[in-house]
Chains A and B, each alone.
Chain A
Amino acid sequence: MIAKTKEYLIELCCAYAFVSVVGAIVNIIGGTETNNVNVLVMFASCAIATFVLFLHNLFDSVSPLVMIIVQYLVACALVGLMLWIISCFISPITPRGWFEYYRSFTIPYVLLAGYYYYRVFSDAKKQDNIIREIQEKKKAEEI
């Protein structure tokens, strides 16, 4: 458990460092500025995303499709909790704000899930071709 937590924290640090650097570059290019709340939201989003990806190991026995759906639902629940905390303690969020946030993480999630789906099929096809090649070489040796 301690090892897993350490692993999670390292992943989180890497993810947050990457996101904050990209955010800083975008701000420099766009000439925009961020505030403390945005930085905290960014960190919470990284923590949720890293946690959801860590669930991967728990779903070893179920199909990847089920895993993707469960991970998405967990992410939705955690994002909902985060937005509720923000709206209660920091500043109220309009329905449009909720919608925008869900949309902004759903689109990349669906794109990445689609890419993962494609990779499963293409990797299986490559492995099948390698197996054919090994079998044919062995048959040739036996003749």
Chain B
Amino acid sequence: MKLNLYEDKNNTAEHVDVYYANMRPVIRQIIDSVNSERPSLQGRPADEDLDDGESVMLDPKDIYYLDHIDRKLFAYTRDGVFRLMNTLASCEEMLWNYGFVRVSKSNLINIYKIRQLKPDLNMKVYASFDNGERICINRSYKKSFNEYLQRMRRMS
């Protein structure tokens, strides 16, 4: 995508014009940024030894998947595991534009981070990520997962 930036010190009405062919996720992300609605996920390191009490801002693009365990939500990134204070349902709603889709009761995965989707011999389908972890795509979420992929393909 071509980006033009114009600096004008006298401009009193700063604005952004977006020319797009269709409303793709990347366009929605730009709109979110301009409207200051870009999802901000604040997390703290899940490892207590690394937790200094400071919250860390997480970019959705860096998250492989979200896991809900024992009523706690964790985000898995290349740099480690972070505990989030959001709910899985709110994250699902907030992050669908960013490639996140529900694949089980407790998992939301980032399709942009999937290295491979492959079934095991026992017919369970797993999404493998760059960090070597695998998340099972639950049978009852297969249809919605497929619909999500089709929608993202049409929009991209």
Contacts and interface: CB of A to CB of B under 8 A. Distances in A.
- Do chains A and B stick together as partners? yes
Main DSSP-derived SS at the A contact region: helix
Contact of A131 (B111, B119, B121, B140): B111
Contacts of A124: 117-119, 125
Interface in B1-54: 1, 24, 26
Contacts of A133: 153, 156
A23 interface: no
A110 to B, nearest CB: 15
A41 B5 CA distance: 77
B20 to A, nearest CB: 11
Given A127-B149, A128-B118, A141-B1, A64 B26 contact: no
Q: How large is the interface on A (under 10, 10 to 19, 20 to 34, 35 or more residues)?
A: 20 to 34
Give the interface centre of B111, B138, B139 by most chain A CB atoms within 10 Å. Answer: B139
B122 interface: yes
B100 to A, nearest CB: 13
A78 to B, nearest CB: 23
A133 B154 CA distance: 11
Main DSSP-derived SS at the B contact region: mixed
Given A60-B140, A138-B26, A120 B123 contact: yes
A135 interface: yes
Interface residues of B, number: 28
Interface in A84-114: none
Contact of B145 (A57, A120, A127, A137): A127
Interface of A: 57, 60, 63-66, 117, 120-121, 123-124, 127-128, 130-131, 133-135, 137-138, 141
Interface of B: 1, 24, 26, 99, 111-112, 114, 116-125, 138-140, 142, 145-146, 149-150, 152-153, 156
Given A124-B125, A130-B153, A131-B149, 15 more contacts: A60-B140, A66-B122, A117-B123, A120-B125, A124-B119, A130-B149, A130-B150, A131-B114, A133-B156, A134-B111, A134-B149, A134-B152, A134-B153, A137-B156, A141-B1
